[in-house]
Amino acid sequence: MSESADPAAVSAALAALEAHRLDVGHRRVADLFAQDPGRAERFQARLDDLVFDYSKHGVTETTLAHLFALLRAARFEARRDALMRGEAVNLTERRAAMHMALRDFTGGPALVEGRDVTQDVRSERARMLAFAGQVRDGALRGATGERISDVVNIGIGGSDLGPAMAARALSPFRGDGPRMHFVSNVDGADMADTLAGLDLARTLFIVSSKTFTTQETMANAQAARARIVARLGETAVGEHFSAVSTRLDLVARFGVKPDRVFGFWVWVGGRYSIWSSIGLALAIAVGAKNYEDFLRGAGEVDAHFREAPVEANIPVLMALLGIWRRNVWGDATHAVIPYDQRLARFPAYLQQLDMESNGKSVTRAGAPVAMATAPVIWGEPGTNGQHAFFQMLHQGADVVPVDFLVAAQPVAADARHHDLLFANCLAQSEALMRGRTLEEARDLLRAQGLDEAEAARLAPHKVFAGDRPSSTLLYRRLDPRTLGRLIALYEHKVFVQSVVWDINPFDQWGVELGKELCGRLAPVTSDPQASLAGLEPATAALIAARRRLAAS
């Protein structure tokens, strides 16, 4: 077991942060800027063209010193080194979490529990990229000899969220490649709507499931298979399916050819699997060079996380600011707002990464945690969010820390639109920080021509508390390298927070109970004559009500 936190030292560091909050809590961020003209530059961290600005958080050098003390008490460096050495840091499953090996282009060994996996990784990636290239250039064709025009990835969780998010984010880099589609929900509407209008003779399906037993994925895979058989015949299955799985026996029984099956390893968790063969859909979408640029961008962040001092380490700073807001100020949610429409699925991707990793209530040793863990992660692209939930961000009773993501340059988009988009992003972060006082609201209303009585009546409704924290991630442009860096930054942020909370971020037992119960209920919901005896009363009542509605 890698070195654990010192509970007494962690408690003392948290107590110091609580005391410090009483001292700094009354100081508005706008005043901190007024007192320190160099604040904007000093409260930034950089990685090449990527800028992480956290100057709009209510922190000072003293705050950071307390947070770094908390990090030392949690023995962060020892835990980080164990992770990077490929030790079995996933304690409950006795596995390493060495997804970093999948994006390591340094040429050095990548050890997993003492074994160098570099050649394994390179070999499987080369196979996968060669197949992706054949799909893209038309060498691989369907059963009727027609070129593949559409690819449908069937997966769920990490086998869907990553590829779907990344393919959308990098859509300008598709070139002449096929159109990409993603099916994840067991709701048959997902498959039906996706296949509507597609020519099955020109469609390739990728079934992404490590065990090839995931309930939702296999239900959708069987539905797709039935469509191919009905349209093109049983012999066409092998020409229209590929798989990402380690269960070669089940894949062969399904009808996928061995040279169309790609695997990955137990030390690659599902929510980190975009870097593995699960990225096949993305590789087909953007091509080998762009896919490798994506990997290299993440590898650059791995090096930064491993080597940069904590004072300039972006994922460490992101994590500690989150700890400050979650555990000292008590903020229960955290919004991620990308000012980029192509990053529309990025908040959903981060929901799994953060909440499945750190949504835990026991320590690595199995004891109850002593503090709150993962916040609720949510968000939508700006500027759409401004016309939906930003009202709550600005004037709601709860404070919600925000991450803003924005590019300096647009990609395949109008430059004038991007100027307006960028202005909106900056305006929202400034408004959250600055706010508007009652007196300022009255002055504004009087300047608009309202009399004193009307200005006094309306002014309270136009007050903004302000002093609401936000960070901004600014980068040159959203390209494959940048997307890889953004994902890896959040991965390492999540790990750092798990260290402070002393939890295992690499298992996900919380998804198991629902799966078990569904396995018991599925035969009952599919058979209208099945007995409801022994079921939980509310469940039995709902099944009975559904039977009545289905029969009416």
pLDDT digits (tens, 9 = 90+) for 524-544: 999 999 999 999 999 999 999
Interatomic CA distance for residues 374 and 500, integer angstroms: 11
Q: Is the pLDDT of residue 160 over 90?
A: yes
Is the pLDDT at 1 greater than 60? The verdict is no
Question: Which of these is catalytic: 239, 356, 380, 491?
Answer: 356
Chain centroid to CA 181: how far?
Answer: 19
Residue 281: other Cβ atoms inside 10 A: 30
515 part of the active site? yes
Residue 241 makes CB contacts below 8 A (sequence gap 6+) with: 204, 205, 206, 207, 224, 225, 228, 254, 255, 256, 260
Q: Which amino acid is at 517?
A: L
Where is pLDDT greater, at 425 or 37? 425
Beta carbons within 10 angstroms of residue 243's beta carbon:
29
Alpha helix positions (H), 233-313:
237-240, 248-254, 280-286, 288-307
For residue 8, give the amino acid letter: A
Alpha-carbon distance of 116 to 109, in angstroms, equals: 6
pLDDT at 2: 55
Catalytic residue among 61, 439, 515, 536: 515
Predicted TM-score (pTM) of the model is: 0.96
What is the distance between the alpha carbons of residues 455 and 466, in angstroms, rounded to a whole number? Answer: 21
DSSP-derived 3-state class of residue 404: strand
pLDDT, average across residues 398-409: 98
Average pLDDT over residues 480-501: 98
What is the Cα–Cα distance from 350 to 346, expressed in whole angstroms? Answer: 6
Look at residue 209 and tell me whether its pLDDT is greater than 60.
Answer: yes
pLDDT range class, residue 114, cuts 50, 70, 90: very high
Q: Which of 1, 71, 92 is nearest to 506 (CA)?
A: 92
Q: What's the rounded Cα separation, in Å, for the pair 322 and 329? A: 10
Q: What is the pLDDT of residues 350-403, one digit of tens each?
A: 999 999 999 999 999 999 999 999 999 999 999 999 999 999 999 999 999 999
Q: 511 is written with which tokens? A: 């998804």
The verdict on whether 356 is a catalytic residue reads yes
Active-site pick, 26, 41, 307, 387: 387
108 phi-psi bin (left φ>0, alpha ψ -120 to 50, beta other)? beta
The per-residue pLDDT of the chain, averaged, comes to 96
Cα(264)–Cα(271) distance, integer angstroms: 13
Please indicate whether residue 360 is annotated as part of the active site: no
